Structure 1
Amino acid sequence: MTTHIAIVDCQPLPAAVQQRTGYKGFFEAFTRLFELAGAKGVVFDRYNAFLGEFPSLEDSIPCAIVVSGSFSSAYTDEDWILTLKNNLRSIHGKAPVIGICFGHQIVAEALGGKCGPMARGPEVGCVSAQLTAPGRRIFQSLSDQTLNRDNIRLVYFHFDEVKILPPGAVLLASSESCPVEAFCVPNEHILCLQGHPEFGSNLELMRALLDSSLENGKLCCEDYQKAVTSLELPADSLEIGASLLRFALSASTIFESLSLHASP
């Protein structure tokens, strides 16, 4: 039986970024990440959320659903964003869900959490996030290298953040600039990260996005330069990618082996 992972792509990339990377959206970055992480016998199916596409519950449900980043804000009333929230609610534990960046935020919103602009300004570049006790347990369980440390370092690129966790959520990681860097909802088989492990599989994507954001005025020169310099730091992208792949294939087993309680 073929294993399918649905990648819900929430952003077509700018033409200049497509030309530099060969990527139409974030789908290609995720497939490369999971392939580098050792995915074998897995078919990755693309769904363009901005066109209203989503895995159909009338068909066979994929073993997991990955929701990508986006330039949009999860708390707006754009039609496709409202549709995506409804689609995420309709899954309701039928398949594991992994949310990344915008995906992390819109999953939180769909389940009753709240998002908004970052209070401390954008978080852009390679950043270290502190794991909570549940976060250490989750990532130790998902790691084949016995992740035994108090933080993870990933590439970040976001202007919004999760302000209030949804009911039943467990905080997994935080940083000085962003209190909710990762969370899970054990009963729903949901795991969400604010960082971009998929950028680590091809840093040219991050560099192209930085250049594009500087040119269109989204980023100031100071934030741009800090981000570019930070990319020289080592990141845990591949290891976290492998952990996400393992979660996608065995989420129920992972959560059943851990006793986690919702964050206050």
Structure 2
Amino acid sequence: MGNGQHFAADILFVIFHPFPKFFRVFALEDFIRALVASEVPTVGICFGHQIMAQAMGGKAAKYSGGWGIGRRAYVMTETGEDVHLLSFHQDQVLEAPKGADVFMSSDFCKIGGLKYSPTCYSLQPHPEHTVSFMADLIESRRGTVVPEDIADKAMASLNQPNDQARFGQMMVDVLDRDLRL
């Protein structure tokens, strides 16, 4: 890390689920700001997307439009290309931080992906999930956390092609410092 600061690991995975209203995230937000300021390769996914945006001055909260589950369509804002990724969320980024570029959007999730610097990105969907993992996740929440009708629609969407592998590789490339969006 720049300015004489160093981290013990090259890659840090922080996993939280769901957006914890009770969890004290101030130290994590400070850590994120330090990563972004120093352009340490960083990728935030789902809660990582939300907490990165919040740390950088944006706003994340429970979305009034409900659940975003299953295969969802997004548009790459620079190229207009349609991409399809797996999602599982109610919370999302509602206001982008100043200085961050929205690189991916949808009607349901306007701020689906953010670029903070050439080495720091975040996105709401889950490029790391497989279809089988997503199916198991949906079924495990069916009728309890996720209403039956939403689970049915999400499960049906999983039969369609997706861009998981390509986006997963893009996130690896960010961490390898070679992303070219």
Shorter-normalised TM-score: what interval?
Answer: 0.7 to 0.9
Aligned partners of 1:66 and 1:98 also within 8 Å: no
Structure 2 match to 1:192: 122
* d(CA) in 2 for partners of 1:166, 1:126: 26
Q: TM-score, normalised by structure 1?
A: 0.61
Q: Say which of 155, 168, 180 aligns to 1:241.
A: 168
Aligned counterparts, 1:9-158, within 5 A: 58-60=6-8, 62=10, 64-65=11-12, 67-68=14-15, 70-73=16-19, 76-79=21-24, 81-91=25-35, 92-133=37-78, 136=79, 150-158=81-89
Alpha-carbon deviations, 1:101-124, whole Å to 9, x = none? 111111101111101111211110
Q: TM-score, normalised by structure 2?
A: 0.86
Q: Residue type matched to 1:172 in 2? A: F
* d(CA) in 2 for partners of 1:190, 1:248: 9
Structure 1 match to 2:140: 212
Structure 2 match to 1:181: 112
Q: Say which of 144, 169, 190 aligns to 2:100.
A: 169
Alpha-carbon deviations, 1:194-244, whole Å to 9, x = none? 1111112xx2321221122125x2110000000111000111001111111
Aligned partners of 2:62 and 2:90 also within 8 Å: yes
Q: Which runs of 4+ in 1 moved over 4 A?
A: 57-61, 64-68
Alpha-carbon deviations, 1:39-80, whole Å to 9, x = none? xxxxxxxxxxxxxxxxxx554451x55555x42216x2413x
Q: Residue type matched to 2:142 in 1? A: L
Count residues with an aligned counterpart: 176
Identity percentage over the alignment? 27
Q: Say which of 138, 146, 150 aligns to 1:223.
A: 150
Of Structure 1 and Structure 2, the greater helix share is in 1
Aligned partners of 2:29 and 2:55 also within 8 Å: yes
> How has the CA–CA distance of structure 1 residues 173 and 59 changed in structure 2, closer, same or farther, with 3 Å as cutoff?
closer
Aligned partners of 1:113 and 1:162 also within 8 Å: yes
> How has the CA–CA distance of structure 1 residues 73 and 60 changed in structure 2, closer, same or farther, with 3 Å as cutoff?
closer
* d(CA) in 1 for partners of 2:127, 2:177: 19
SS at match of 1:162: strand
* d(CA) in 2 for partners of 1:86, 1:234: 38
Q: Which has the larger radius of gyration?
A: 1
SS at match of 2:26: helix
Gaps in structure 1 of 5+ consecutive residues: 1-56, 137-148, 259-264
